[in-house]
Each structure stands twice: as structure tokens, then as C-alpha cells.
Amino acid sequence: MTTAANKKPSSGVLLALTSLPGPFGVGDLGPEAFRFIDWLQVAGQRYWQILPLAIPDGTGSPYASLSSAAGNWLLISPEVLWKDGLLPTKPRPPSRSPSIVSYKSITVAKWKLVRTSYTHFVSHATLVQRRSYAEFQKKSHEWLDDYALFQAVKDRHQQQPWWSWEKQWQSPKEARQYLDRHMEKQLAVHMYAQWLWAEQWSRVRTYAHRHGVQIIGDMPFFIRTDSVDVWANRNLFLLDKHGSPTVVAGVPPDAFSRDGQRWGNPLYNWPAHRRQQYKWWIGRFRRLASRVDVIRFDHFRGLINTWHIPQRAENARTGKWVPSPGFELLRQVKRHVPHLRLIAEDLGPGKAHADGLRRAFHAPTIRLLMFGWNGLPNNPHAPETIANDTVYYTANHDTNTTVGWWRDEAKWYERLHVRERLHQVDDIAWQSMAVAMQTTSQITIAPMQDILRLGTRGRFNRPGRRRGNWGWRLRTDQVSPVVAKQLRRLTAQFGRTSKA
């Protein structure tokens, strides 16, 4: 298994695809994606880190998807559809594209567009397009058939969770026997949407490679209960006979939460995975490795152990640690995906337990400069402690921006240590980027919000808050050549510039 980066230190930018600018209400795989890659090349950046490519939930979170395999069809570009001859008329964007993604309205609008495109495809697709679609169905049947079926049945039940469906819909085998004509069309449209997404994403990634940019993707450890993964593979999760989790995921009490955190995700039936020689996991890794260049594995410590909370427990105080077969699992994955490149997201308590596993599979750790200013000895996030097997961030998608942290959250002692190190803090975001870049880390990554020196209003996600997340977007004018050249100079100063 290869390491996550070349030996030469490099840098990159964190930006969700949904945050790209554009006229249709949400970032997509159209012209602005290609323009951003051009910007990264001018800026001398080797990596573009995105968030999970999965379909988000109703709040916009891509970490709670109804499929670990399907791509986010909300990213389909109307402009590219028109250019490819897959729409009967040129799409008209709204008079004003919102600066914040409204997932409820954009889902309705995009699905209407996909249905229109499918009808047009049936009558007007070229032979090349029909062959491409057929090849995609054949290549993806391992996950695509169950996914499209699940979506069609979910449409029939007005998006209600699968365990509330009538008995005949409770498994893929039974559900296929009861499909009616309308559901079969819905199923076909869901398959078609996945082909559109895959075609457009492939072009974006190919363009990135041609411009010396590699994609860092994201694989969440946990799965959502109301997902095709659980519906079609109930034996692989710890569920009761009705399909409800017997235990759920979370973390025990710590200094930040006296009741711990109860996340509610179902937990894995590891003996069942072992009997299948980890086929389900191998499929996940293989698919994502074919879509991105490096995989950031979210909650890497889950491969060592997970906190099991009884389903009826009110909080996470009641629970126990249960071991996970991480070494065995990754050895099997390595056999089938030998060129896999991993980054271990091991933030939070218990990272020491995962060190042996990540080192065995050459996965660099993650550190955040924002957490490195408390002055405690041997703080693993402090600049002077950063080793070369590290991906070093100024901030990430779950934290405030660096400017927002400095203005609104930094403790007095953190401010003291920042001032001792930086001497002046008139440009805290870029000064922090410089501090990160001059360490020996393999890769440094800054969110686009830090590059733009944005405050708390640019924050992308506030963990624990159910609304108002995942919606931040770039403006077209913010993808500035002036900023790109400034970033290139800073990156070159510390020998991290991509030469591609």
C-alpha cells in the first residue's frame, strides 16, 4: 500500500464541490470546477481535497448518505448536459443564484432536470452515449442495481425509512417481485442519474490530472441506518429482527462532553464481515480508489475499536469499547487494491490506539494548527512537534475558519502563544498557512475560506447543530488570479509548489 504523498512536501486546498460558484444554486461539475482546477495549478497546489462524493442527507451532510457507493447527482451540471445534447432545450438558471445552498429546493429542481434529460436520452441519445450507459450499468451492477431499487421503493413511500415499509419491500429480493411500471421507470432514472454523475466526474478528474492536481476524497467509517447498505446487507450490521440497531455508535464522556456523544449509527457485525472476507469493505475501497487519488479515512480509530451504546440508552455514558479487526480488514483490502493511498483521520480521543495500524499501512496522520496553540508540552498539533508522516491543516470542515477562531474562540493563553510565535497577527490566516508550510509535514492543506481570509460567516459546518450547515459557497470573483499568484509565492517560499 503506497503512502499518501510523494516524498517532496506539497500543499493543497480544501473545498467542497457543492461550494463551487455557479448559476444553478449549488456547485456542480460544470465550467466552474474546471476553472477552479486552473486556479489550483496557477497557485502551485498539488491537491484538491473534497468531502465525500456521496448523496447528502436532507441537511446537506455528505457524511450521512443513503448510499456509500452512489455519487451525488446534485452535482450534475445542467450546462454540461446541454453541451452533450442530453437536454431538449438550453437550461435557464434562476435570476439569482443563492450564495447559500438550499438543499430542499435544489433537490426538487435538479431531479426535475434529470427526469427531463432521461426522457430526452431515451429518444435522442447517440449510439456512443447508449453504449457508454450500457457499459456503466454492466460495470456498476454490484452496487447500482440495489441502489436504484432502494431509491425507487423509497420514492413510492415518500422517502420514509425502509423499516417502516410493508413486508414485501423489506429486502431487495422480495422488492423486485413487486415492481410496477411506474417504479421501474423511477428505477431507470436513478440509474441514469448515476451514469450522468460518473461521466461528468470522470471528466473533471481527468482534467485535474492533466493540470497536475490530485484529488483527496473522503470515506466515512460509519453508515446511516436508513441506507441501501443496511437495507440490502442487514446481516452485516448489529440489528434486531425488525431492522433496528441493537447498539449504536458514539463516544464516551470526555472533557468536552460529560454525557459523551450518541451519534446513532448502526455498528458492524464483524464476524459476518469476516465470513465474507470483507467483500463489502473491499468494494467500498475499490470504488472510491477508482474515483479519487487519495482517501482520507474518516474516524480511522474505528478500525481499532468502537463505542457500543445500547439503543435504549439516553446518552453515551452507558456503553463499552468493542474491538474492530482493522489489521485483518486492511490486509484484505491491500490484496485487492494494492495501490491504495490513505490518510488516517485520527483526530479526537484514542488516536494513540490507531497509531500502530496507520503506520503499518503507511497512512499519514492528521493534525490541526488551530489546536496547536495551548502551550502544553508535547502538544501533537503544535508546529514544532509535526513529523513528516503528517497532513497538516490550518483548519478543517468541522472547525471555524482561522480568522473566525482568532476573533471569536481563541482562549487568552492561545492568543499569548500565537503572539509569541508570530509576533504580529495582522493577517492571521496567511501567517498560519506559512507556519504550517514551514514544518516537515508531507502535505499542508488550507480551507479555501482561510485562503480568502474569511471569518466565522465562512464556516462550513458546526458539529452538533442540525441546521445551517454545509451550505457555504464561493463567489466567482473570489477565484481570483491575484490570490492564486500570492498563494503560489507563499507555497514556493517553503518548497511545496507543484511543478506540473
Is a pLDDT exceeding 60 seen at residue 264?
yes
Of the residues 28, 293, 298, 389, only one is catalytic, namely 298
Separation CA 106–CA 81 (nearest Å)? 17
Percent of the chain with pLDDT over 70: 97
Number of residues that this document lists for the chain: 500
Is a pLDDT exceeding 60 seen at residue 25?
yes
Confidence label for 103 from pLDDT (cuts 50, 70 and 90): very high
Q: Which residue from 390, 392, 357, 387 is spatially nearest to 371, judged by alpha carbons?
A: 392
Q: Is 398 marked active-site? A: yes
Query: Where in the chain are the domains?
Result: 10-493
Q: Is 226 marked active-site? A: no
Per-residue pLDDT tens for 201-216?
999 999 999 999 999 9
Q: pTM of this prediction?
A: 0.96
Q: How far apart are the first and last CA of the chain?
A: 24
Of the residues 32, 199, 345, 450, only one is catalytic, namely 345
Cell (9 digits) for 373: 496553540
Of the residues 38, 145, 355, 398, only one is catalytic, namely 398
Helix segments in 211-344, DSSP class H: 228-232, 270-275, 279-291, 326-336
If you search the block for the grid coordinates 473570489, which residue do you land on? 478
Question: Which of 2.30.30.830, 3.40.30.10, 1.20.1280.290, 3.20.20.80 would CATH assign to domain 10-493?
Answer: 3.20.20.80
Per-residue pLDDT tens for 466-498?
888 999 999 999 999 999 999 999 999 999 998
CA distances from 279 to 70, 284, 298 (A): 17, 9, 20
Q: How many Cβ atoms are within 10 Å of 34's Cβ, its own excluded?
A: 15
Separation CA 312–CA 306 (nearest Å)? 18
3-state secondary structure of 2: strand
